[in-house]
Amino acid sequence: MDVRSLFSRRASRGPSLYTVSFWLLCISNFLFSASFQMMIPELPAYLTKLGGREYIGFIIALFTLTAGLSRPFSGKITDTVGRVPVMAFGSIVCFVCGFLYPYLLTVGGFLTLRLIHGFSTGTKPTATSAYVADIVPATRRGEAMGTLGLFTAMGMSLGPAIGSWLAHDFSMNVMFWTSSAFALLSIGILLQMPETLVSPQPFRFSLLRLKKAEVFDKQALPPFIVLLLQSFSSGVVLTVIAELSNPLGITNNGLFFTVYTIASLVVRLVFSRTSDRYGRVPVLFISTIVLAISMGMLILTDSQTWFWTAAVFYGMSWGMNSPTVTAWTADLSDEKTRGRAMATMYIALEAGIGLGALASGWLHNHMAGEAGIDTSFAVSGMLALVAVAYLGWFWRNSKQVYRRKMNEADEIALLDGEP
């Protein structure tokens, strides 16, 4: 049976959440996230062997730099050329970069490849989020983003563990080539998926010329602020968590990512519809408090028990954060510029991760002992508390606006003679 005809028949049954296209997208996301994430825990040691220990903070920072810079372009192309081509481009970048890492054996070559690799996450997640918002009912966006996030989280969980195993039991080159193979499988799945953008245009280079209004979607400003403050912690964790785990006798640098992602998976399974029922802002308010707590626990970590507990709390926070902030962005966006809104949200993610990576890398290199690591986690916790304060203000202000609109509606009804 032709796959596209199956999509058409399923679509004719009316709006549904768990369609074939949705499941294929989930599988593709699993492969994509595992592809770029599996190498992360081993890259600091790899760069050190190449002679670039002082550039450890750039491993994540360069990656997120191009990811962030490419967001406005990916948002515009997602809204004009289509969702599927942009998703495919992101997976292609992962495929090519994973294949080339073993052949660029200088510090400059490695860092250049990290810069190019960032185009992958600067494009695919933007189009993926827009694609999901296209194919699921608006009242179930939180659930849909949570389910998609399950597969993304599984890839991010299994990827580092697989990568560390391959690097230690085989070689770094085998790990890089496996990463490339995962991306290739993701591309194969994407090519079977139908386009959801109405009236897509052919790609032309003039689309890469951006107007000011096309760079940032003002409607996505609230999620942008919250995610920017939250994601600083991700850059810190990605950069220095191995420096915290090794002294505790934990040799597999990917296990922290595995534990926190498993915790994230459990939260997504149990609370996937919570933000659909109770609202995006209340859920984000609670989840960001949990994020701040996890940063405090990492500062106090002096045993494996504390370390794994902190990983669980960190995973719980992102299990609620990620799908909720994405659904919130979709709620606030206009259908015609949904790609731009998603790109704006992801700019915050990349900027936060990049700043966290740069700051923690600098602190680790310039402060003695564990002081740099502890300071990095402390800053992350404080920024999370700032996000909590902003969400509290936004929540209260939203209630006031709602009450004012209801009072205005009641006054209009009285003037019209309605009871």
How much is the pLDDT for 177? 92
How much is the pLDDT for 122? 79
Q: Which of 146, 134, 291, 116 has its CA nearest to residue 200? A: 134
Torsion angles phi and psi, residue 368, rounded to 5: -75, 145
CA–CA dist 221, 77 (Å, integer): 21
Classify residue 72 by its DSSP letter: H
Q: Is the pLDDT of residue 1 over 70?
A: no
CA–CA dist 54, 164 (Å, integer): 22
| pLDDT tens column, 298-309 | 998 888 888 899
For 17-192+213-415, give the CATH class: mainly alpha
Asked which of 97-106, 136-145, 147-156, 175-184 is least confident by mean pLDDT, the reply is: 136-145
Q: Is the pLDDT of residue 328 over 60?
A: yes
Asked which of 177-181, 222-226, 256-260 is least confident by mean pLDDT, the reply is: 256-260
What average pLDDT score do residues 132-136 get? 80
How much is the pLDDT for 417? 52
Q: pTM to 2 decimals?
A: 0.68
Q: Which of 318, 259, 257 has its CA nearest to residue 291? A: 318
- pLDDT averaged over the chain? 80
CA–CA dist 60, 45 (Å, integer): 14
How much is the pLDDT for 48? 83
Work out whether the CA dihedral 120, 122, 125, 126 comes out positive or negative. negative
How much is the pLDDT for 150? 79
Q: Which of 317, 286, 345 has its CA nearest to residue 75? A: 345
Q: Is the pLDDT of residue 293 over 90?
A: yes
Q: Is the pLDDT of residue 180 over 50?
A: yes
Q: How far from each other are the two terminal CA atoms of the chain, in whole angstroms? A: 59
Rg, the chain, Cα only: 22
The residue with greater pLDDT, 408 or 170, is: 170
| pLDDT tens column, 360-392 | 888 877 776 678 888 999 999 999 999 999 999
Which residues, at least 6 apart from 4, have a Cβ–Cβ distance to it below 8 Å? 192, 194
CA–CA dist 214, 362 (Å, integer): 33
DSSP per-residue codes, 17-40: SS-HHHHHHHHHHHHHHHHHHTTG
Instruction: Tokens for 125, please give them.
Output: 């997640």
Asked which of 89-93, 259-263, 406-410 is least confident by mean pLDDT, the reply is: 406-410
Alpha carbon of residue 77 to chain centroid = 19
Torsion angles phi and psi, residue 9, rounded to 5: -70, -35
| pLDDT tens column, 23-37 | 888 888 899 888 888
How much is the pLDDT for 399? 67
Domain boundaries, given as residue ranges, for the chain: 17-192+213-415
